[in-house]
Every structure is written in C-alpha cells, then in structure tokens.
Copies of this chain bind each other. A is one copy, B any other.
Amino acid sequence: MSTDAWTLSPDRFFDPEPSQLSVARRLYATVGTLPIVSPHGHVDPRLFADANATFGSPADLLIVPDHYVFRMLYSQGVPLESVGVPRADGGPVERDGRKIWQVFADHFHLYRGTPSGVWLAHELIEVFGVTKRLNSKTAQEIYDQLEACLASPDFRPRALFERFNIEVLCTTDGAADPLASHRAIRASGWKGSIRPTFRPDQVTNLLTPNWAGHLRALGEAAGVTIHTVPQLLAALADRRAFFRSMGATATDHGVVSAHTERLADAEAGAIFARALRGEATEKDATRFTGHMLVEMARMSLEDGLVMQIHVGVHRNHNVEVFRAFGADKGADIPIPCEFVAGLKPLLDLYGREKDLRILLFTMDETTYSRELAPLAGHYPALRIGPPWWFQDSLNGMRRYLDQVMETAGLYNTAGFNDDTRAFPSIPARHDVWRRAACNWLAGLVVRGLIAEDEGFEMAADMACGLARRAYRLDRPG
C-alpha cells in the first residue's frame, strides 16, 4: 500500500489477539450502526434552526472553532492568529481558509496517536471521502475536495444529522437562554430531535464575570426581580419548567470542586447580599455554589431533571491567551478532585432517593476506583458519567472501564457522551467508544468473566441503552 493512501482499518482499536478480536468483531457488528444518542454536548443549535445553514469553509468547520485541534498547534509554537482564532480585540488574524489549512496540514504529525488524530482521520475519510493522507503536499488538493463537499446540500447540518443517524442531540444552554433556536427547530417541522440542557452556572457561581448581568437576565427571562435567594430559586424553578417544556431532561453544573453544603437561610442570604454588593469572596462563592448544588438536587428530585456535575477544572489557565482570545481556547487544565467529604452533605439529604439521578464527571482519574465507583456502587441516586474530555480517548476509556466497572458495575454508569462542539466529530467519537466497549467486553468473554450473550446485551447498553436511560430519554418527551 502506498504511504499516501488513507483508509480506516475495519478492526481499528481492537486488541489483535485472534480469539479476542473475533469476539470484538461479532459484538461490534451488532452495535456499530445503532443510532447515536448524544445526551451531552456543546453543538450550536443555530446550525439546525435554519434548513439552509452551512458550515463555512473547511477551516471554519474543522480548525478555527476547535480548541482540541488548535491547542496542539499552539503548544508547538504556532501562533493562534495564524490558524484564524479570532482575537478578543478584533485584531488581525489569518482569514484565508487555505492558508490556515496549510499550516494545519504542515503540523498534522503532531496528532499521531492522539484522539484528535483519530477523529480527524474519521471525519476526513468517512464523512468527506478523503483517500490520501493529509500532509503538506496533499493539503490543497484535500482542501478542494472538502470545499466542494461543503458547498453541496448533502453537507448541510440537517443533512449530516440525518446521515449520522442521530436519534437525539442535547445542547447546553444558559439558564436565561430563550432557546430561540430550539423553538425554531420545533416550529420548522424538521424531525431531528434536539433538546436543550439547563446550565445555571453563570448565576450559581458568584464569581462569574458579569454575574450581576447574568442574574438580571435570568430575572427578566423568568419574570422575577431577584434580590434574595428565594427569588433566585423561584427564577431557577421557573426556567427549569420552561426548559422541560422545551424537551430538556437534564441540568448541567460545572464546578471547581465537589463541595456541597446546606446553608442556613440567613447565611445563604448574607452571602447573596454580599455578592449583590460585589463583595463576595472566593469562600463565599465555594459555599454558595455548594448550597446551590443541594438546591438543584432538591428541585431535580421534584421535577425529574437528571443532574450532571462536571468537577475540577482550572479555567483559562493561560492569562495571556485568555486576555487576547477569551475563554475555551485549550487552556483549561484539570485539577485534583475530592468527592467523599465534598458530596456528603448533599448525599445525606438526597443520596438514598432512587428517583433522583445525579451523574458525576471528573478529570481526576485517581477518584475512579477510590471514590466514584464505591459511591456509585452504593448510593441509589448516583451514576458515573463517561470518561470526559481528555479521557475521551482509547486509553482514557480503557482506564475508565478498568477502574470503574468492577466496583460500580456497568449499570451504575451512564453510557457515552461526546461532549463536543465539533459536530462532524460526533460519529467518530461514538465509534471509538463503541469499539473500545466491544473490545473490553470481548476481553471479559475470552477471560471467562461473562458469557458471549451477556456481551451482546452489554454492548447494546453501552452503545445507546445506558445513555438513553441515564438521561431519561426513553421517557415520553
């Protein structure tokens, strides 16, 4: 085979040992083409609001908005301006998609062995039909091919959504968001299922930049003037009901730590008053966020919204990149997490509720076997979310399956999330998970831990069933 030809191995990501490989193939044959359930992610719903929306240039689609991609270039000295990342001050950056693409192709070796490399190969080969390996020499020819694809109606967002066989796609939306795109999608009569997710971080984190503005927006959206904690809770309850009416089945909470506590009303009120005066401290913010997690759990028990908690990230670690380019530029870095003491106050109140559903996500893998699996293997309210972000990778999945499943059991986990803003990478990401799952199950079969028929059931659950049930997407919408 010429080193220029580019194909995907049909046995990719499986262990090569023949007995395990043959089981993995059999399992994958039954789940590889099941519909995609995408219960958590950051795709922009505007893409689907207008039947004629397009993705722009190949660079606009694959590079400029994807911090997974450009952070690797930046790490090797490529200026973000040269790959078109917009500056916060509107200053000059490269706008020529062809030039951006060439820089990317010149550095494509950087992605060897990385999940971004795996996803990009899948997107180019499977989604766009590229047949030559991307490198400095083939860059422009491949750009031509992508450009031609993107100009065709078959590559509009709704067309790809259908081609990708997506059963449901959940977006992530601020508490005050009017969900205009979601309304437009419903009004359009298009059958694609796009659901919002309620994420109130901007108001529950007292230190959010422009917190007061976000609070005002929430009040306006809910028709409530917010001067007190009860008013805040009333506004959040109102918005939860609205999100549910728009098809939401879940909330999402991105928090620095898993600290929770039930503040006395007077103390919560005093902290909130300090925040309104612009005097909230870091400790105030930590305690108030912990208090709001408890309140959100209480509301989830009432209204049935599944509660996602993503813990442990130092956002915008690179001050200069944040100043020049803003948030979500590949400079968020994980930090250690602690769940056992942190979640106890919330669990003391609600952990035993089997009708409450809390999904925990971490970037601190040390907590998988030590804390998360024992907690989820005990508390009825808890499930463990899939490997998140940097762990959304073959090795990350293997470590997760290795460290979580024996103690928590498969049925205390929540299937897969792609958690992406890169729409065309969705099939690639689910394919990696399904293959990793089948390979893991094949390992259990050939080692005599499960019977092959159990493997088929578990594979289908891992591909779709667990995610559907964990997010209550199997209930009438």
Contacts and interface: CB of A to CB of B under 8 A. Distances in A.
B390 A118 contact: no
Contact of A340 (B72, B317, B405, B408): B317
A397 to B, nearest CB: 10
Interface size class of A (residues with CB under 8 A): 35 or more
Contact of A378 (B319, B330, B411): B330
A256 B330 CA distance: 29
Contacts of A396: 369, 406
Contact of A411 (B20, B109, B390): B109
Contacts of A111: 409
Given A395-B402, A406-B113, A369 B390 contact: yes
Interface string A387-400: 00011011110010
A300 interface: no
Contact of A112 (B12, B371, B395, B450): B450
A391 B369 contact: yes
A369 B365 contact: yes
Interface in A298-319: 314, 317-319
Interface string A11-41: 1111111011000000000000000000000
Given A335-B340, A380-B76, A409-B111, A318 B352 contact: yes
Q: Which of A133, A365, A374, A379 has the most CB of B within 10 A?
A: A374
A351 interface: yes
Contacts of A395: 402-403, 406
25 contacts: A8-B448, A9-B448, A14-B447, A17-B17, A75-B408, A76-B380, A110-B411, A111-B409, A112-B449, A112-B450, A113-B410, A114-B405, A114-B407, A114-B409, A317-B375, A318-B378, A320-B348, A330-B378, A333-B340, A334-B374, A335-B341, A365-B366, A369-B396, A390-B406, A399-B403
Interface of A: 3, 8-9, 11-17, 19-20, 71-72, 74-77, 109-115, 117-118, 133, 314, 317-321, 330-336, 338, 340-341, 344, 347-348, 351-352, 354, 363-366, 369-371, 373-380, 382, 390-391, 393-396, 399, 402-403, 405-412, 444, 446-451, 453-454, 457-458
Given A9-B448, A75-B408, A109-B454, 14 more contacts: A3-B451, A3-B453, A8-B448, A12-B448, A16-B17, A75-B376, A75-B409, A112-B450, A318-B378, A364-B366, A393-B406, A393-B407, A394-B449, A399-B403
